[in-house]
Structure formats: structure tokens, C-alpha cells
Structure 1
Amino acid sequence: MYPYYSRDRIQADLRELGGAIRKSMGQNFLIDPNTIDRLVRPVHEALQTCSEPSVIEIGPGLGALTHRLIEYAPVTALELDPMLATLLRRQFEGQANFMLIEGDARRTLAGLTAPVLCGNLPYYITTELILESLSVPGVQHLFFLVQTEFAKRACAKTAESSFTVFLRNFGEVKLLERVPASCFYPVPSVESSFFTVQLYEERAPAAILEKLLRMSYRSKRKKIRNSWRVGEALLPVETVEDLAPSAGIDAEKRPEEIAIEAYHTLARLIAANVVVDPERHA
């Protein structure tokens, strides 16, 4: 039986190793078994659609999701905290479906492949980890537990942020469930949410779309034309303005008022009409 539904057991095992919960790393452990069951269910359903099911799990913590996921597929767990890595080894030693890689997932993801990737992401590097996850070879389904405010932004139906637009370039984004703070130990100050990205073929070249979004969201209070004209010209401004109507973009509107798909269309048009320096980063 999974040992870490108990707050006392969590404290005792960490104390035995001479450590404690590290709030600086955003450590809040799932301890509600019903919630864990509900979160694992859609991941399991995704695995059933894969010809060679396997999972990469970012930030397994104490193994709340891991202990269920290994029932269905091989799991490669990426854990940064050495103490948690020790407890994971103790718990899953001898399990054929479990492999632990200790280190920062922003670096250890390189070279890994799996059709399903999931994680309970620390708030301070949530965006970075999601963007890294998009480039994992062979990945088809992403599942993330994050702060609700972030999940709402990621799952928005309108272009309220550049991240929303960028993420929709890679897949269909859907909010699955809200998770109350009481389901964690320690209890966080904010609610969390579980969302998924079902990946499809990129709608537009990512490098060009990123530059376009950086230019467009320099100031959400400005008309998008004015945003394009201030700051560094990451793309040729005159060309962007000339192509915008063909993408259905009214340059007199603010960036969040533009349809998500219109940004993708404009990025494709730019790609077809402009030679962009591949070494130049937004």
C-alpha cells in the first residue's frame, strides 16, 4: 500500500533522512487517494491508445501518481530533490516498470522519449517545463497539475496571453479537474488544476510564431500595430503589417482581441515570405 497518504509518515521519513519539506522548491504532496485515482484515470486512458505505452513523469515527489501509473506502463521519473529520490528508490526498488533519473528535468528530459508525459509542476518553472515537454520526441499526450490561475490561462479559448496562443500551436488544451488545496500536504495557499494537451502537428513554425508573439504582446494595452512598431524588430515590421489582413488580423485591435488561429495563420504567411535568421532568438 502507498505509504504517504499520512502526514505523519511523510514527516517521519523526511526527518529520518535529516531533511524536511522544501517550500522553496514548491513541494506540496498529493495525499488524497480519491483525487489521485481521478488524476490517473485520463492518463491511463491515453496510454491505452498508444502502441508502445510509457510515461515520463516530471517531479514524482513521493510517488503519489507514480505508484498507480506503474500498474499500466513503464514510468521514467525525473526527480530533482535527493531526499525524495532516496524515498522513491526505497518504495519502488525492484519494480520492473520504474526507472528514476535524478536531476533537473529541464536538462534530464533531453534524450528521453515517451508517448505520455505528466507532472505535478513547481510553480516557479511551470512555463519552462511545459515548453521543454513539447519537444520530447514521440510525445502525444501531456498532463500537468499546476496552479489554477496558470491552468486557466493555458486553457483559455481566447488569446489572453502569448503563452495561450503558443501552446495552442501544438495541441488541443483542456482543463480536466480542479484540485482543492486540502488534497495536498503541506496545504498550499492556492488551488490547483489538472489539464491536458493532446498534441497535433504544429499549426505554424514555432520559431517564427514565438517572435511574432513577443512583438505582439509587448503591451496588451496598445493596439497590436503599435506593439509591432516599438522595441526590437524581431521580424520585418512592414511585412508583418502587410500580411496581417490576409490572416484576418485587424492591426487596430489589441493583441488579446485577435483570434488564436489568426496568429498561427500570420506566422505561416511570414514563414512563406520572409527569411528568418535561425540563430536569432526572441
Structure 2
Amino acid sequence: MDKRLSSHKATMEVVNKHGFRFSKSLGQNFLIDDNIIDKIVEGANAGKNDKIIEVGPGIGTLTRALASKSEKVLVVEIDKSLIPILEDTLSDFDNIKVVNEDIIKADVKTLIDQNLDGGPVKLVANLPYYITTPIIMRFLEESINVSDIVVMVQKEVAERMNAKPGKKDFGALSVAVQYYCDTEIVAKVPRHLFVPQPNVDSIVIALRVRPEKKYKVDNEELFFKAVKAAFGQRRKTLLNSLTSMGILDKSKISEVLLESNIDEKRRGETLSLEEFASLANNINKKLEGE
């Protein structure tokens, strides 16, 4: 088999050979560009000792490139009609395991234990856009043994993950991702590099998961609740948006903001992660003191 599947011609040959039908509901758009495939592999720093988990492999275009560089690749594909295609296109590799599961419902830790020696793993994928954020946040929040997440996502979503305080794209997703990771844009991917062509452009973003969190947060649940409240109604001042959480009255929130050296008239998008951490910790102290 030709080593590369990432031309339009090679992709359609495989699709037609197996009578495959693209599923719009599963967000199936196959990448048809060697250069972007190479950038994803480089962005993942895939090496001979690496264990990779790939979600939504399509016909195995990226999978082949990853398997040629790394120790093991575990492929998770929800569409059972793609399984025989993958068995065909990946047949010349002995370091790939394909499982027919829904990554949102799968027991990811067990899959990693059984197939990738417990990790650490790198999540590398051209993610279906409708489940991008749930997949990424699941890997970050559930203490899955992951060192890097290198994914192709919708352009606007990548820009939000990578946004800095004070920018219009900065929001709750920016804070959530940057709480766990350092972010890096790997490549911009125009829509014409897919078949079928989606309605949006894409970006490959690398999330480098930090071994230790950059900011000390005493109560993570409260931290994320405060972040969500701060961005819930973006035009509200912090004093009003944090009061709307309903856990402290306005005068106590005012005291907390003063203790955190944060002007109560500021808005959520102007706060740094360090300020959010300080604010959440001071709310937590106030609650514990009551």
C-alpha cells in the first residue's frame, strides 16, 4: 500500500473501494494534505517511546504517520463502518490497536492501562467539532495520564483556548484549558484541505499539560464556578457577576475583591489566571470563616 493516504485521490479510492458514506452527524471530514499531517506529527513531538491515543481516525491517514514514528497507537473510532477500512489501511503496522468505542462514554483510563501500558499518553486527533471541548476537558479533568494534547479543532475554538486576558476571545474555556496547560498554535488549516469540505476553517493546537499546576487553587470546584460566573454575563462587573453565584452577599464579595487587590468594577475578561486563583482562594477562605 502507498505509504501516504492524504491526497484527495488516495482518500477517495479507499472510500469508494469500501462503499463508505460520510456521516454528517459524526462530523466526518477527512484531511487530505501531507504537509498538515506532518505538522501534526511534529507538533506532537512523536518519538519511538511515545504512546499515542487517536480519536476519530477516519481512514487512518494520520494514524499511519503516527505509527511510523511512535511505539504504540491506540485508535478509538465510534463508526463501526470504518473498522474494516482501518483494518485494511493499517494492516502493514503491528503497533496499532483499533477499538470501536465512543470516546465520551469509554473508560479511557482502562483503555490506556490495557493497550498503552498505563501511559503517559499523547492525545493526537482530528477531532469531530461537535465533541471537541467535552473530549479535551475530559482528558484534563479526570486525571488521565496525558502529557500532550495535539488536536485539530474549529478555528474559533482554538483561538479561545489560546486567548490571553483582555482579548475578546478570552473566556471560561481559555481559563479552563490554561489552568492545566500551556497552549501553542501548530498550524492553520483552511477548509479546502478536507473531504468533504466543512463550513469552517480549522487550527491544530497543542496543549502541553503541566506536571504541576501553575497556580495554587484551594477549591477547584469553587474556582471554576467563579470563572463561569465572571463570564456568564460579560457586561456585568465582577462585583455583580460574582454576587449572582448566590454564595456570598454583595458586601462580602466586595471585601473579597478588595482582599484580592481587584477593582470591583472590572470585568471577567480582564483578569489573569493568577487573579482568578487569588479571587477563588479568598472566596473559599471567606466561606470557611463563616
Q: TM-score, normalised by structure 1?
A: 0.85
Alignment of 1:140 onto 2:152: no
Q: Is the 8 A contact 1:110 1:136 kept in 2?
A: no
- Partners of 2:101 and 2:186 lie apart in 1 by 29
Provide closer, same or farther for how the CA distance between residues 164 and 14 of structure 1 changes in structure 2, counting only shifts above 3 A: same
Match of 1:115 in 2: 121
Match of 1:58 in 2: 55
More deviation, 209-218/12-21: 12-21
Secondary structure of the residue aligned to 1:178 is strand
Match of 1:89 in 2: 87
Q: Give the drift of 1:273.
A: 5.1
Match of 1:222 in 2: 236
CA deviation map 1:169-227 (0-9, x unaligned)? 10111112101212211122211101111111233343222111122222001112111
Alignment of 1:69 onto 2:76: no
Alignment of 1:153 onto 2:174: no
CA deviation map 1:96-152 (0-9, x unaligned)? 210112111112224334331121111111111110121353211111100111111
Q: Is the 8 A contact 1:26 1:124 kept in 2?
A: yes
What value does the CA root-mean-square deviation take over the aligned residues? 2.3
- Partners of 2:258 and 2:87 lie apart in 1 by 57
Q: Give the drift of 1:67.
A: 0.5
- Partners of 1:269 and 1:244 lie apart in 2 by 8
CA deviation map 1:61-104 (0-9, x unaligned)? 12121101112221111111112222112222363210112111
CA deviation map 1:226-277 (0-9, x unaligned)? 11223x52x44565543333333222111112223211222234445545xx
Q: Is the 8 A contact 2:22 2:28 kept in 1?
A: yes
- Partners of 1:161 and 1:271 lie apart in 2 by 22
**Runs (5+) with no aligned partner, structure 1:** 276-282
Q: Is the 8 A contact 1:221 1:254 kept in 2?
A: yes
Match of 1:279 in 2: none
CA deviation map 1:151-173 (0-9, x unaligned)? 11110011621110111110111
Instruction: Indicate the percent of aligned positions where both proteins have the same amino acid.
Output: 27
More deviation, 202-211/163-172: 202-211
Q: Is the 8 A contact 1:56 1:114 kept in 2?
A: no
Match of 2:274 in 1: 261
Match of 1:246 in 2: 259
Alignment of 1:179-194 (within 5 A): 179-194=189-204
What letter corresponds to residue 128 of structure 1 in structure 2?
A: P
- Partners of 1:57 and 1:246 lie apart in 2 by 45
- Partners of 1:118 and 1:240 lie apart in 2 by 42
Secondary structure of the residue aligned to 1:89 is helix
Quick one: which of 170, 175, 178 aligns to 1:168?
A: 178
Q: Is the 8 A contact 1:58 1:105 kept in 2?
A: yes
Secondary structure of the residue aligned to 1:21 is coil
Aligned residues: 269
Q: Is the 8 A contact 2:239 2:253 kept in 1?
A: no
Provide closer, same or farther for how the CA distance between residues 262 and 146 of structure 1 changes in structure 2, counting only shifts above 3 A: same
Secondary structure of the residue aligned to 1:190 is coil
Secondary structure of the residue aligned to 1:125 is helix
Match of 1:278 in 2: none
What letter corresponds to residue 246 of structure 1 in structure 2?
A: E
- Partners of 2:61 and 2:281 lie apart in 1 by 42
- Partners of 1:110 and 1:165 lie apart in 2 by 25
- Partners of 1:77 and 1:271 lie apart in 2 by 41
- Partners of 1:237 and 1:259 lie apart in 2 by 24
Q: Give the drift of 1:7.
A: 3.6
